[in-house]
Structure 1
């Protein structure tokens, strides 16, 4: 009798502790039992997900629309069955983005999972920052490339003018010759500065100074987070299989490569078709090969010849600037790699990015 009383007292104490925790935590959390009934939720969860006290005891299936995440039931079943935590990025009814962690609620005395604790961490600002970061990188790369191009052309013309002055048959005064020499020296200095600028931006020095050992799955997580609104809106299905995951490369450059390839795969899919994108990696002849396959509109042979040209767009009805693939190709080529494309109009495309696996980019 005393043992039963002690157990009830211990259970009551644990329940009070859990109740106190749920009432005072600032993190949105839900407790769903093994029968998929909502048992508790924290006050922040009430605020963010439009939950009400009368929802307690209701099947989570009846209120799942508050999460804008239709697969939550299957995910809860999976966590209860396996006892392993699951992470997802979801959007809620207030149009904010959260990292959702579904953790098994295990009773250690019985050694079984009696439900799940669902925790939400607001990542709206992170998604916004990632998208803005990618936009700034694109604008920055384009500006620097355009600046170098615009300076090179008139500079080359001035250098030719100097050479022409040198061979004129007329006698020149000492003062004129000195001025010409000063002009030529100044132009040579400008050319040297421009050369150093372009080499430091696109050349090996840039890649060597910023190279680090990066993990491709982590890069892909960041990219998918930045593209989360597009993925959700298009209902895109993205699968991946990595035979090789690590490479010495510039983190932001690799992120830009993946971001542009995935963004294009989503954008260039017909509106009546759900995007299906497969990302694979494998090693081939000392290269990491990143294969990105889609079921989009595809390209004809004529488009394949010009797709990497600056401002080239294969479909005017799709929003874009025509510089994404140009920058991707420039990044990969200057790192000693290459990109190949196979495509069938109306069926889809496969981009293969070859990146050197050695540490000398």
Structure 2
């Protein structure tokens, strides 16, 4: 048994360690007690939220404006009441983005929550970069597909014309063979230019975009951060059940698939309800199956038949260009996979994406 002096000494040492930690950590952190009084904060929090030493001991409601996040007190109360950790991406009124974690501070001896510790990680730059990356990926996929699609028909038509001209009699046109050869030479040159253009422009990216072992949960988290503004504005609730966490695939393509499906699940939801989305991942034979289920507007059987077609928009009163699901289907089928769709008008949809896993099933 420790003597009273030994116990006091231990408490002093623990308090000094806590003070030392709060003084030297590089993460903005706050300690708020069960009465919503600000008890401690780290120097980065002082700088980030313009906190002053005289704020210590003050109720949070007197200084909540410093955090530029209106519901912070409600979030603290919820954690104190439930004893559960709260993790969420928040946007402050100055348009910054943070990963906010509110952890219950439990007094084990009394078995109760006596306050919370709050951490803030600035993710503004990461969200901006992810959004820009997603935009570039979409533009790249669309450009490459458009080149392949739109140039194919003119070349085919020109080839057929040349074949027909070759079968026609020369009549008395002395220059006809020369003109024909010029057309044929032009066609060959066109093919060569297009081939070199595509090869030189995308060769580096093709080399970089090799398949790798990916953590599906991490990819989903990147997509959630990219869609953070839409999630916040719509009040979307996204749940996940990842039972097959890894897949060997090209990172940007997997992100594009999940991004487009999640984005649609948020977008195509009636105005009178908040999007509720469940993301599941499981193994099925040689496939990794990613399913995304929503409570959105749903689709009729007729709409489901054309939803994967290029530039086909089944709901004209929603923003978009009709290429998202087309690109998803293109990526999945090109990789030897498939997509299944179940949907009921007014009740929601479920997209099941089957991706072959080079490493075998989960």
Q: CA deviation at 1:249?
A: 0.9
Task: Give the Cα–Cα distance (whole angstroms) in 2 for the partners of residues 234 and 242 of structure 1.
Answer: 24
Task: Give the Cα–Cα distance (whole angstroms) in 1 for the partners of residues 359 and 198 of structure 2.
Answer: 22
Count of residue pairs the alignment pairs up: 353
Q: CA deviation at 1:274?
A: 0.9
Q: 1:24 to 1:199 in 2, by over 3 A?
A: closer
Residue 145 of structure 2 is matched in structure 1 by: 145
**Residues 49 and 93 of structure 1 are in contact (CA less than 8 Å); yes or no, is this contact kept in structure 2?**
no
Residue 241 of structure 2 is matched in structure 1 by: 241
Q: CA deviation at 1:315?
A: 2.1
Residue 250 of structure 2 is matched in structure 1 by: 250
Deviates more, 1:275-284 or 1:85-94: 85-94
The CA deviation string for residues 238-263 of structure 1, in whole angstroms up to 9 with x for no partner, is: 11112212111111111111111111
Residue 319 of structure 1 is matched in structure 2 by: 319
Residue 220 of structure 1 is matched in structure 2 by: 220
Normalised to the residue count of structure 1, the TM-score between the two structures is 0.81
Task: Give the Cα–Cα distance (whole angstroms) in 1 for the partners of residues 337 and 264 of structure 2.
Answer: 20
Residue 118 of structure 1 is matched in structure 2 by: 118
User: Map of 1:141-290 to 2, 5 A cutoff?
Assistant: 141-170=141-170, 177=177, 180-181=180-181, 183-188=183-188, 190-191=190-191, 194=194, 210-290=210-290
Q: 1:10 to 1:359 in 2, by over 3 A?
A: closer
SS of residue in 1 equivalent to 2:213: strand
Deviates more, 1:25-34 or 1:130-139: 25-34
Q: CA deviation at 1:219?
A: 0.6
SS of residue in 2 equivalent to 1:247: strand
SS of residue in 2 equivalent to 1:71: helix
Task: Give the Cα–Cα distance (whole angstroms) in 2 for the partners of residues 199 and 343 of structure 1.
Answer: 40
- CA RMSD between the two structures: 3.9
Task: Give the Cα–Cα distance (whole angstroms) in 2 for the partners of residues 193 and 353 of structure 1.
Answer: 37
**Residues 28 and 45 of structure 2 are in contact (CA less than 8 Å); yes or no, is this contact kept in structure 1?**
yes
Task: Give the Cα–Cα distance (whole angstroms) in 1 for the partners of residues 155 and 224 of structure 2.
Answer: 43
SS of residue in 2 equivalent to 1:210: coil
Structure 1 unaligned regions, length at least 5: none
Q: CA deviation at 1:187?
A: 2.1
Residue 353 of structure 1 is matched in structure 2 by: 353
Task: Give the Cα–Cα distance (whole angstroms) in 2 for the partners of residues 210 and 76 of structure 1.
Answer: 47
Residue 344 of structure 2 is matched in structure 1 by: 344
SS of residue in 1 equivalent to 2:254: helix
**Residues 76 and 102 of structure 1 are in contact (CA less than 8 Å); yes or no, is this contact kept in structure 2?**
no
Task: Give the Cα–Cα distance (whole angstroms) in 1 for the partners of residues 341 and 333 of structure 2.
Answer: 15
